[in-house]
């Protein structure tokens, strides 16, 4: 039985994590942590009476094996550090850490021999899309990416699309793609250029979060597409991570490293 503490258990994602743990054999919730959870009575939150409730990081005392974290960008670094120092394996779904912070936590985990996962995207369809795209690029070096998000998303490209391009760029054979003397009659129409990989960002109301990777070769095409309709989809990835993370001896970044 793997004992679980959930940081941010009162939030929307924290609540989903509670249900995940309750519905998974081999997982058992033993503690919850949230700054707003001033009442120490677990029954107030619909939890078993033996679940310990904390609202200050310094107060946390638990025999949990893993630390599932859906908190805030401002809190996640301290949370993760605390978890590693106390030999609780972090499973981090909170975004917002810098590359430096992640590296420092990885070093600490190696020293302490504590397994962990930091995943910007626990959605399994996105993780598999990236993995397959990287594999396909070895055989289909001609590739473009189209990501589609709701109209309110201000930034483009999406983090996942850029991440996909970076993964492809690492492995695809060096080559020239497209026409020798391209003519762009409307500026930007050929998309953003990441090391020769074109990325196109669509922003429309109704859409949620979707990505397609298009590969082409003489006489054929291969397309990998993922659709995220609901952030609840992250729980499948959290489950995989929770069941595997205690077997690691350091923190990895990206769920794909556990597949």
Which residues are part of the catalytic machinery?
149, 153
- Closer CB to its own copies, 74 or 185, in the complex: 185
CB 16 within 8 A of CB 232: yes
Using the 8-state DSSP alphabet, how is residue 58 labeled? G
To its own copies, the closest distance from the beta carbon of 171 in angstroms equals: 14
Q: Is 13 in the site for its own copies (CB under 8 A)?
A: no
Q: Is 198 in the site for its own copies (CB under 8 A)?
A: yes
To its own copies, the closest distance from the beta carbon of 100 in angstroms equals: 19
Instruction: Answer whether the bond into residue 14 is a cis peptide, omega within 30°.
Output: no
Give the Cα separation of 253 and 91 in Å (integer).
10
CB 36 within 8 A of CB 55: yes
Of 80, 125, 134, 164, the residue at the interface with its own copies (CB under 8 A) is 125
> Is there a binding annotation on residue 120?
yes
Give the Cα separation of 222 and 48 in Å (integer).
49
Q: Is 256 in the site for its own copies (CB under 8 A)?
A: no
- Closer CB to its own copies, 92 or 214, in the complex: 214
User: How many Cα atoms sit within 13 Å of 138 on the Cβ side?
Assistant: 5
Using the 8-state DSSP alphabet, how is residue 60 labeled? -
> Is there a binding annotation on residue 122?
yes
Q: Is 204 in the site for its own copies (CB under 8 A)?
A: yes
Give the Cα separation of 83 and 89 in Å (integer).
7
Site for its own copies in 43-102 (CB under 8 A): none
**How is residue 103 written in tokens?**
């590296």
Per-residue contact flags (x/-) with its own copies for residues 149 to 188, judged by CB under 8 A: --xxxxxxx----x--------------xxxxxxxxxxxx
Annotated binding site for (S)-2,3,4,5-tetrahydrodipicolinate: 150, 159-160
């Amino acid at each position: 039985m793997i004992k679980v503490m959930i940081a941010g258990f009162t939030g929307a994602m924290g609540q989903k994590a509670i249900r995940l743990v309750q519905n998974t054999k081999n997982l058992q919730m033993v503690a919850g942590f949230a700054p707003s959870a001033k009442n120490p009575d677990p029954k107030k939150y619909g939890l078993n009476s033996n679940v310990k409730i904390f609202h200050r990081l310094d107060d946390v005392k638990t025999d949990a094996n893993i630390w599932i974290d859906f908190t805030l960008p401002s809190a996640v670094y301290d949370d993760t550090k605390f978890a590693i120092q106390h030999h609780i394996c972090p499973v981090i779904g909170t975004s917002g850490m810098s590359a430096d912070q992640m590296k420092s936590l990885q070093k600490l985990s190696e020293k302490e021999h504590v397994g962990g996962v930091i995943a910007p995207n626990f959605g399994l369809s996105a993780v598999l899309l990236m993995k397959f795209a990287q594999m396909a690029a070895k055989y289909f070096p001609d590739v473009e990416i189209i990501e589609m998000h709701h109209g309110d998303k201000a930034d483009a490209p999406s983090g996942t699309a850029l991440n996909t391009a970076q993964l492809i760029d690492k492995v695809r054979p060096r080559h020239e793609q497209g026409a020798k003397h391209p003519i762009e009659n409307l500026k930007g129409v050929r998309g953003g250029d990441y090391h020769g990989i074109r990325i196109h960002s669509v922003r429309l109301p109704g859409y949620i979060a979707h990505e397609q990777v298009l590969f082409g070769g003489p006489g054929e095409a291969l397309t990998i597409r993922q659709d995220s309709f609901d952030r609840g989809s992250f729980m499948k990835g959290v489950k995989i991570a929770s069941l595997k993370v205690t077997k690691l001896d350091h923190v990895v970044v990206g769920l794909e490293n556990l597949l």
